[in-house]
């Protein structure tokens, strides 16, 4: 796997201060994609164990809420093995850190429909994932006012709650944050 960039202290892609890993490679081809350069699996730099160590170390401070995986497409089959290992290590060594994944695959494509994302590693990734922002970017549904997503078809999904319920449970944190800011 290659990666395009690691952003430390990122506050745009999930709640709190996060480490965001932008991986290389995406086949969705959404018109208007914000990061077309990352469609190429060969762009960027090779991801190896020293990069993994750096990412895990960056999560250690108390002020860092967790990790966000985005891209590119973290759930392309080529990217899943290394990312599943990374997430399992984070959950083992730093279990209080949250995991967000941005994917062009929909929840349905990951859980019930056939898709190329369904590999032997997908379950390991979903087991470690707290929040999934799902679905391809739809230019016609682009809305700058949306928090943590680009177009209104994309959903912010509470993964453990959805898996327990057997249906999509939307993440409630955004509502809580909105209430908090209206109190200020
Ligand atoms: S899924 Fe994301 S990275 Fe891939 S083409 Fe769509 S917007 Fe771009």
Q: How far is the CA of 181 from the centre of ligand 1 (A)?
A: 30
β 45-46/155-158 pair status: unpaired
Record the pTM: 0.94
| Residue stretches of the chain with pLDDT short of 50 | 184
In the three-class reduction of DSSP (H, G, I as helix; E, B as strand; rest coil), residue 87 is classed as helix
What is the pLDDT at residue 184? 44
Residue 136 Cβ inside 6 Å of ligand 1? The answer reads: yes
Residue 73 Cβ inside 6 Å of ligand 1? The answer reads: yes
Q: Where are the domains of the chain?
A: 2-183
Residue 150 Cβ inside 6 Å of ligand 1? The answer reads: no
The CATH number of the domain covering residues in 2-183: 3.20.20.70
- Written as one string, the DSSP assignment of 23-85 is ES------TT-TTGGGG-TTSSEE--HHHHHHHHHHT-STTEEEEEEESS-TTSTTTHHHHHH
The residue whose CA has the least distance to atom 7 of ligand 1 is 33
Count of other CB atoms within 10 angstroms of residue 179: 9
Pocket test for ligand 1, best of 2, 5, 30, 149 (most atoms within 8 A of CB): 30
């Amino acid at each position: 796997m290659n990666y395009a960039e690691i952003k430390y202290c990122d506050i745009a892609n999930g709640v709190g201060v996060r480490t965001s890993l932008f991986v290389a490679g995406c086949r969705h081809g959404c018109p208007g994609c914000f990061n077309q350069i990352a469609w190429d699996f060969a762009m960027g730099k090779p991801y190896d164990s020293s990069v993994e160590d750096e990412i895990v170390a960056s999560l250690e401070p108390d002020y860092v809420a967790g990790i966000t995986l985005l891209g590119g497409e973290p759930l392309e089959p080529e990217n899943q093995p290394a990312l599943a290992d990374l997430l399992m290590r984070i959950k083992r060594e730093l279990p209080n850190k949250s995991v967000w994944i941005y994917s062009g695959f929909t929840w349905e494509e990951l859980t019930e429909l056939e898709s190329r994302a369904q590999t032997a590693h997908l379950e390991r990734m979903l087991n470690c994932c707290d929040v999934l922002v799902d679905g391809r970017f739809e230019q016609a549904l682009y809305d700058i006012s949306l928090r943590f997503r680009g177009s209104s078809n994309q959903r912010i999904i509470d993964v453990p709650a959805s898996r327990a319920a057997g249906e999509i449970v939307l993440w409630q944190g955004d509502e809580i944050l909105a209430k908090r800011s209206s109190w200020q």
